[in-house]
Amino acid sequence: MDQETLRFAKSNEAKFVENLKNLVKIPSVSFPGFDPKWVVESAEAVAGLLRSSGLQNVEILRIKDAHPYVYGEWMNAPGKPTLLLYAHHDVQPAGRENLWKSAPFEAVEREGRLYGRGTADDKCGAVIHAAAILSYLKTSGKLPLNVKMIIEGEEEIGSPHLEDFLKAYQQKMQADVMILTDTGNYDTGIPSITNSLRGMASLDVTVKSADHPLHSGMWGGPLVDPVQALSKMIASLTDKNGKMTIPGIYSQVRKLSPAEAQSLRSLKYTEKDFRKQAQILPKTKILGGKDLLLSLWRLPSLSVNAIQASSKKDCANIVNESAWCHLGIRLVPDMNPQKSLESLKKALLKSAPWGVSVEFLNENASPAWLAEAQGPAFQAAARALEKGFGKKTVFIGCGGSIPFVGPFAKVLGGAPAILIGAEDPYTNPHSENESLHLGDFFKSIQSAIYLYEELSSLPAKNPERPKALQNRIPAGV
């Protein structure tokens, strides 16, 4: 690799930040109830970014009613392996906008961080690789290997059209190694490769006792309160220490191997670290015992993501007719997603008091994912990250879920799936004041440059024949 590539990336850091800011301006929330035109506009902006980076055959891919994916490629390195890069351009809703210190869809720099929805999760993923590709093509006129890039538009809603997408575009996606840039680092400045993800079993629960709200003074007492009923149902799912009480829910949990247990111990994660990173209130108890990383990465957990009956704004002296919540279990390796979902539903029904009506909707079940972080591709990635960050790479788990990973790795015939990203424990993804550490953003671009070089020495197994080399350099940065 020509050192000029790294110098080009360094001299264009401000431009790369500007590219990210332009993507963040687009409120590409993929959730139902939000205008889908913004996800389309985001896809068009990402396509423009990929074209300006020098990728060829850039196109927006659609499947049925799915939000748009964006694809681009550079397949001009005969005999070299093919790398598939993944990120997503859809984002979570802003949440409580009054809690943001700056507008959620206006990226603002403060104290070395860039604040805004999607700065870290995951529009930075697209910008990181576009920047690395541009840096190579502007200085060397070529990449050291073949590259395909897919930027998804509905990851935040669980990739509901993934199966249809893979059926339609399986051949286009074929590659030797997959790099998914949608995870984070163990801590700020510490490069990390994620080799386990928790899955998800989630659903909406609606509890109903009447067909309309009733005056709490005139009818309260004999009338069943669905909010209390739902609260009792939720409370029945865990004991006083936060451990789930759902029968059989822990029976399928895979035990750690000795090597995995040693790896967790080597990170020396403490309650002090957890409190600092999560920024929880001082007197709030920490659940799950002393082995916090085990609880975060390799044990299931229950969360109530939202709950509603009336609202703070419309509060009145009534007994509500219904109460609603969305809750879910984060799953770990060997847990059957559908079986876990059915166990959750059964437990909720069993604990429903007073004859209330219970309805389940929007059910989702996706498995956990675990990869053995061994082999030349993982070693190459670890070396690249260490060069880019200047610190030793660590292998970690992630408590979150990325439904895309497992099915895509399967379609690629077991090709290594390497999960990296620029998030850190202070990013606040999915919450207010999401942010990206700009130092880690620049180091991630450097790491991507090293990554392409390191992976270029791997054998090419993909049967697709790259086209003849074309030294096409984009006109603008």
Residues 349 and 421 in one domain: no
Domain containing residue 356: CATH number: 3.30.70.360
309 in the same domain as 191? no
Using CB atoms within 10 Å of the CB of residue 274, give its burial: 0 to 12 exposed, 13 to 18 middle, 19+ buried: middle
Task: State whether 144 and 16 are in the same domain.
Answer: yes
Mean pLDDT of the 83-95 span: 97
Percent of the chain with pLDDT over 70: 96
Q: Are residues 357 and 401 in the same domain?
A: no
Is 204 in the same domain as 229? yes
- The reply to whether 34 and 48 lie within a common domain is yes
Domain boundary among 312, 331, 364: 364
C-alpha R_g of the chain: 24
Residues 140 and 163 in one domain: yes
pLDDT at 294 over 60: yes
Cα(162)–Cα(160) distance, rounded to whole angstroms? Answer: 6
- Distance from C-alpha of 6 to C-alpha of 449, rounded to nearest angstrom: 7
Contact of 160 with 127, CB cutoff 8 Å: no
Structural domain contains residue 24:
yes
Whether residues 78 and 185 fall in one domain: yes
Q: What is the signed CA dihedral for 219, 221, 223, 228, rounded to 10 degrees?
A: 130
Tokens 């893979």 belong to 166
> What CATH code is carried by the domain that includes residue 164?
3.40.630.10
Question: Quick check: is 472 in a domain?
Answer: no
User: Looking at the predicted structure, is the pLDDT value of residue 123 above 50?
Assistant: yes
Reported as a single tens digit per residue, the pLDDT across 442-468 is 999 999 999 999 999 998 875 443 343
In a domain, 385, yes or no: yes
Q: Which of 349, 364, 379 is the last residue of a domain?
A: 364
How many domains, in total, are found in the chain? 2
- Tell whether 179 and 208 lie within a shared domain: no
Q: Say yes or no: 182 and 63 in one domain.
A: yes
Residue span of the structural domain in which 354 resides = 200-248+298-364
**DSSP secondary structure letters along 206-241:** EEES-SS-EEHHHHBTTB--HHHHHHHHHHTTB-TT
The answer to whether 254 and 369 have CB atoms below 8 angstroms apart is no
Would residue 11 count as lying in a domain? yes
Read off the pLDDT of residues 157-201 as tens digits, 9 standing for 90 and up.
989 898 899 889 999 999 999 999 999 999 999 999 999 999 999
